[in-house]
Structure 1
Amino acid sequence: MTLVSHAHSTSQAQLRPVPQEFTHKRVRAEVLLTGWAPAGEDRVTVTARWPRTHSFYAPVAGRHDPMLLAETLRQSIPLISHALYDVPLGHHLIWQHFTYEVTPGALWAGDAPMDVELRITCEDITRRGGRLTALTMVIEILRDGLPLGTAHTRFSSHAPAIYRRLRGERCTVSSDVAPMPLGGAVPVLPPALVNREHADDVVLCPTAAPDQWLLHVDYAHPILFDHPVDHAPGMLLLEAARQAAHAVQGARAGAVLPVRFESAFFRYVEFDAPCLITASVEPAVYPGERPCVSVTARQEDTEAFSCRVTVADATA
């Protein structure tokens, strides 16, 4: 794992509070970020606190769910946009690609919440008319000053009028549309097959093929649909990739952690058409290599999302 070299030396006293609206979360309890501070030109330090347990991103075999890191980084995108680059509230922030890698040994869950520090460098910044339109974030993640992981992501920013032109007739929020058609009353997969305890948290429905599933969209899910949106959220697609990685491995999966995600977002996944999730286990290149699963999401015969998931034994 390659770490980003930074000269961040932000103290707790220098940290500024995180306005809830800057995280794009409606439920205060789901805000993971605790503070932020500039750390140089196009650099920022962000702190977060992971709960000891979570209703959706629960610990696995005594280790924090790495998807908490994905959600922490997702919340950092609007925070940096609004706080550092003056992007107005109401602008739409869209993922282009997102990669993270964590050290499993640093994910142990104790008896208290876990404090995390993100050292973020912003690169490849583009503007139009003085307004931010896209940037890349390179992130070093620390726990108690020690390496926890790294991440790299790029997103774009669109003013409401531009976004409406891009979305056209599909600019309709989830609360105003019917559930995504799944070919009838198709049940979700058994929770144990995707390492979930509750059926309400399963995002895949079976098909006739053992390596393909339909994306299940539940607008009432309190975490994945914290607020109305007009397309499938990025975190829903990442969760689908994680669950597909479990499902395609079957009984071999056991208690595993998604320690690396390499994902790309090509098109919006819409609410008015089925979305097919396909997964395949990549052959190992050398003995003892961690399993990797390639996952794609296709809608209307077009690839909308791809992800390569690397998993590790949570009990090792």
Structure 2
Amino acid sequence: MPSHTKNTGGLSFEQTVPRSLAHRRCLGEVFVADTAAVGVGEYLAAVQIPRAHLLWSDRRGDQHDPLALVEAVRQAMTVFGHRYLNLPPDTALSLQRVAVDIEDRSVLHDDGATPLEGIVRLRTDLDAGTAYLTDHGFTATVTVGGAAAVSVRGGGIAFPAEAYAQLRQHQLADRLENGRGQGGSILRTSPVAPARVGRRDERNVVVGTGDSGVELVVDRRHPSFFDHPYDHVPGPLLLEGFRQAALLAVADTSASPPVALDAAPVTMAAEFSGFAEFHAPLILTSSIDRDDESDCAEIHLDLTQFGVRIAGCRIEFDLISPAPRRDAASLTAPEEIST
């Protein structure tokens, strides 16, 4: 049955929401097709990832990228805030923490012909009366073909435009005053080979290695990470940096380095304590715990800038187990949505 005729609780995949609601500049970077409010603090969104997307279609296996659904959840939250909570268009949303669990790898199988699409069900304590300057939490589940594929939970802060501008001005002035904004020249680390981090296109490689170890490579020309101008390094780029640094760590401790290319993420949890600036190196350090009996690896990563830790992440990989495939009938069955 074609995806646009599925029973999705009245949600449609016919067109995307206006790009301004998702804080995107390019139409092809909008992944939210439709939304609905189904209860107090509970919302649904139909999301679809383009098959030929520069970033999310650049993979070395036959599994859709679960971080593409994390980005879809992030966009859906932005749409919900504007559409149902009346947040002004210039509201700044700062993610403080996020945890991702891959619930069922089989539904992420890429048959080469069908775009990745699903339904986001999100619950949040964010409301119109207390939206600003307070830490709010959320939980979300993305179903694909009626089965739970990815769950995402986390929290963050919404800033009025003026308050955000004042905060960032104060932070940048403080760093310049203390000399941290001029703490040496930016390292010109070249990206590692795409195959080392599971990519084919070198434009999507965001880590490099040099004398200081692993460094985040920030290319503000990237059409997905920098769909529009930012005053700091955006969160999706930091998450991708953590993942790629973790793959390097796995490969470096493996007797057979190519195993990292087949590593399937099981969980990923990150927290952010500061903004990543453009004008100084961003260094990624890692430690790894290997369980050879279960073929699992847990990687702990830190991101530092100006000598200060500004973010951390824990990623667990299943190094050996191949991702199961669902039969075609189960993937195209109507998706029932209870409202």
Contact kept? 1:292, 1:308, Cα under 8 Å = yes
Rg larger in structure: 2
Judge which range, 16-25 or 256-265, deviates more.
16-25
Q: 1:266 aligns with which of 265, 273, 290?
A: 273
Partner Cα distance (1:303, 1:131) in 2: 26
2:261 matches 1:254: yes
The alignment status of 1:123 with 2:125, answered yes or no, reads yes
Say if 2:311 is the partner of 1:310: no
TM-score (norm 1): 0.85
SS of the equivalent of 2:278 reads coil
8 A Cα contact 2:12 2:46, kept in partner? no
Higher helix proportion, which one? 2
Q: Which runs of 5+ in 1 are unaligned?
A: 1-8, 173-179
Letter in 1 for 2:210: T
Structure 1 segment 16-35 matched on structure 2, within 5 A: 18-35=17-34
Question: Is the Cα–Cα contact under 8 Å of residues 13 and 47 in structure 2 kept in the other structure?
Answer: no
Q: Cα deviation per residue 1:1-46 (whole Å; 9 max; x = unaligned)?
A: xxxxxxxx83237999622111111111121111100011111011
Structure 1 residue 187 corresponds to structure 2 residue 190:
yes
Shift of 1:125: 5.4
1:46-125 matches, cutoff 5 A: 46-58=45-57, 59-102=59-102, 103-110=104-111, 111-123=113-125
Which of residues 289, 296, 302 is equivalent to 1:290? 296
Q: Distance in 2 between matches of 1:164 and 1:204?
A: 29
Residue matched to 1:5: none
In the aligned structure 1, how far is the partner of 2:18 from the partner of 2:79? 8
Quick one: which of 287, 301, 307 aligns to 2:307? 301
Unaligned runs of 5+ in 2: 1-7, 174-183, 252-256, 324-339
Letter in 1 for 2:68: L
Residues 1:199 and 2:170 aligned together: no
Aligned identity (percent) is 24
Q: Note closer, same or farther for the CA distance 1:295–1:105 as it changes in structure 2 (3 Å cut).
A: same
Relative distance call for 1:181 and 1:105 in structure 2 (3 A) is farther
Give yes or no for contact 1:125–1:132 (8 Å, CA) kept in 2: no
Shift of 1:289: 4.9
Letter in 1 for 2:294: G
Secondary structure of 2:228's aligned partner: coil
> Aligned partners of 1:43, 1:16: CA distance in 2, in Å?
22
CA contact (8 A) 2:269 2:313 kept: yes
Aligned equivalents of 2:196 and 2:55: distance in 1? 16
The alignment's TM-score, normalised by the length of structure 2, stands at 0.80
Q: Which has the higher contact order (CA 8 A, sep 6+)?
A: 2
Question: 1:168 and 1:22, CA in 2 relative to 1: closer, same or farther beyond 3 A?
Answer: same
- Say whether the 8 Å CA contact 1:127–1:133 is kept in structure 2: no
